[in-house]
Amino acid sequence: MNITILGSGFAALTAVKEVRKQAPQAEITVVSPQAELIYLPSLIWLPSGLRKGSDLRIPLPNFFRRQRVQHHAATVQSISADGRTVHTDAGDIANDGLIIASGGRFLKKLPGIEHVITPCEGIKAGEAIRDRLAAMPGGTIAIGFAGNPNEPAAMRGGPMFEFLFGIDTLLRRQGRRQRFELVFFNPALRPAQRLGDTVPEAVLKMMAEKDIRTHLGHKMLGFAADKVLTEGGEISADLILFMPGMTGPAWAAESALPKSPGGLIQADAHCQVEGLPAVYVAGDSGSYPGPDWQAKQAHMADLQAVAAARNLVAELQGQPARETFKHELLCIVDTLSHGMLIKRTEEKSLMLPPLRLLHFAKRFFEYWYLRQYR
């Protein structure tokens, strides 16, 4: 049984563990440019210096050795129509089963988007925010996000609230907040609606209490070096942080894989790529049936990866795919000093007010989660 897993992020590594558990003798090949995990949830702490880039870059050779994984250092270029061959810039890889967990990419179609920093693009983006903030004597910082108009779930807005509130806390600690104006912009009138019905009002109330100006409900038109452009007017800004909507990986755009209206790889409730035997997808690469509030976050990637791995092994052993995953949004929105716990399932939603304990809970979870890979 030869299984190939694309990526080395949350979904890919969880899939490695679950495949090894379900099929101890399987040959596992992981394809990614580097044998490392970038712990994206802690990018929010780079501007303040609470974390350094090196803290978030987790080398994986020891983990791969323990799991008996062969790492193929390469970039995926395409996949054969039947999914049995992965074409990379370092050669072709054949497989009996495939799990696509290579992550999505951000839509960069708005004019002038080269003038913004997209925080979740990685460590360099977080360090750029840190350096720009340190060099600014004052000015206006505009922070916002948008979605994929063809795929409501292909959005990652939570981290932008964390950057917004974290920068506010950092500037207050530095005694510089009065020299800055913070502006939050979003094309929705009620941002954070996907987190739960009561969340938008709570988040907007926090912004008002922290003297953060809002610019809501206006379609995005683009950016200039010093402006955010919307149908409702311009926002002058000295620093712009913006998270666009998400779509599928670049290599998948021209492939024969079935894709959703938003350009993600279309999967069924078992995480199987529609119409392709022994090909599964987990994490941000995929589009899954379910509620329109389903999240693009590490927690969901882990749940999807477990289902994908179990179903793939079962299929290769001649059994039907039965595993599904629970739709559950779970996060702590951190402000650098406090944290707000938000949980949403198909049955209910919950939001706790900002608590200092939850800030430390998020830091402890980082330690607990990463110890398995160190």
Token pair belonging to 217: 């409900």
With a cut of 90, say whether residue 210 has pLDDT above it. Answer: yes
In a domain, 369, yes or no: no
* 114-152 residue pLDDT tens: 999 999 999 999 999 999 999 999 999 999 999 998 987
| pLDDT given at position 348 | 87
Using alpha carbons only, what angle is made at residue 273 by residues 268 and 279, rounded to the nearest 5 degrees? 130
With a cut of 90, say whether residue 374 has pLDDT above it. Answer: no
In a domain, 258, yes or no: yes
Indicate the pLDDT class of residue 198, thresholds 50, 70 and 90. confident
Averaged pLDDT, 42-64: 97
Q: Within this chain, do residues 197 and 255 fall inside the same structural domain, yes or no?
A: no
Q: 194, 228, 245 — which closes off a domain?
A: 245
* 309-357 residue pLDDT tens: 999 999 999 999 999 999 999 999 999 999 999 999 988 889 999 999 9
Q: Within this chain, do residues 126 and 213 fall inside the same structural domain, yes or no?
A: yes
**What amino acid occupies position 151?**
E
With a cut of 90, say whether residue 7 has pLDDT above it. Answer: yes
Token pair belonging to 174: 């530095």
In a domain, 240, yes or no: yes
In a domain, 373, yes or no: no
| pLDDT given at position 94 | 97
With a cut of 90, say whether residue 293 has pLDDT above it. Answer: no
Task: Say which residues have a Cβ less than 8 Å from residue 112's Cβ, sequence separation at least 6.
Answer: 222, 223, 224, 225, 229
Q: Within this chain, do residues 38 and 93 fall inside the same structural domain, yes or no?
A: yes
Q: 245, 271, 296 — which closes off a domain?
A: 245
Q: Within this chain, do residues 162 and 260 fall inside the same structural domain, yes or no?
A: no
With a cut of 90, say whether residue 29 has pLDDT above it. Answer: yes
In a domain, 370, yes or no: no
Q: Work out the percent of the chain whose per-residue pLDDT is above 70.
A: 100
Q: What is the mean pLDDT of the chain?
A: 95
Task: Say which residues have a Cβ less than 8 Å from residue 229's Cβ, sequence separation at least 6.
Answer: 112, 220, 221, 222, 223
- Residue found by looking up tokens 């979605």 in the block: 147
State the Cα–Cα distance between residues 156 and 191, nearest whole angstrom.
12
In a domain, 340, yes or no: no
| pLDDT given at position 74 | 97
| Strand-pair category, 213-216 with 180-186 | parallel
- 8 A C-beta contact, residue 272 and residue 309: no
Domain range for residue 148? 108-245
Residue 280: strand pairing partners: 99, 272
Token pair belonging to 55: 């803290």
Token pair belonging to 22: 């379900």
With a cut of 90, say whether residue 255 has pLDDT above it. Answer: no
Q: Work out the percent of the chain whose per-residue pLDDT is above 90.
A: 89
With a cut of 90, say whether residue 292 has pLDDT above it. Answer: no
State the Cα–Cα distance between residues 95 and 170, nearest whole angstrom.
49
With a cut of 90, say whether residue 227 has pLDDT above it. Answer: yes
Averaged pLDDT, 4-12: 97
Q: 273, 296, 316 — which closes off a domain?
A: 316
Considering just the CA atoms, what is the radius of gyration of the chain in Å? 21
Q: Within this chain, do residues 255 and 241 fall inside the same structural domain, yes or no?
A: no
Q: Within this chain, do residues 155 and 220 fall inside the same structural domain, yes or no?
A: yes
With a cut of 90, say whether residue 253 has pLDDT above it. Answer: no
CATH of the domain at 78: 3.50.50.60
Q: Within this chain, do residues 131 and 235 fall inside the same structural domain, yes or no?
A: yes
Q: How many domains does the chain have?
A: 2
With a cut of 90, say whether residue 264 has pLDDT above it. Answer: yes
In a domain, 203, yes or no: yes
Sign of CA dihedral 128, 129, 130, 132: positive
| pLDDT given at position 60 | 97
Averaged pLDDT, 39-65: 97
Q: Within this chain, do residues 295 and 222 fall inside the same structural domain, yes or no?
A: no
Q: Within this chain, do residues 187 and 63 fall inside the same structural domain, yes or no?
A: no
Q: Within this chain, do residues 81 and 126 fall inside the same structural domain, yes or no?
A: no
Residues listed for the chain: 374
Q: Within this chain, do residues 170 and 197 fall inside the same structural domain, yes or no?
A: yes
Q: Within this chain, do residues 145 and 66 fall inside the same structural domain, yes or no?
A: no
| pLDDT given at position 316 | 96
In a domain, 304, yes or no: yes
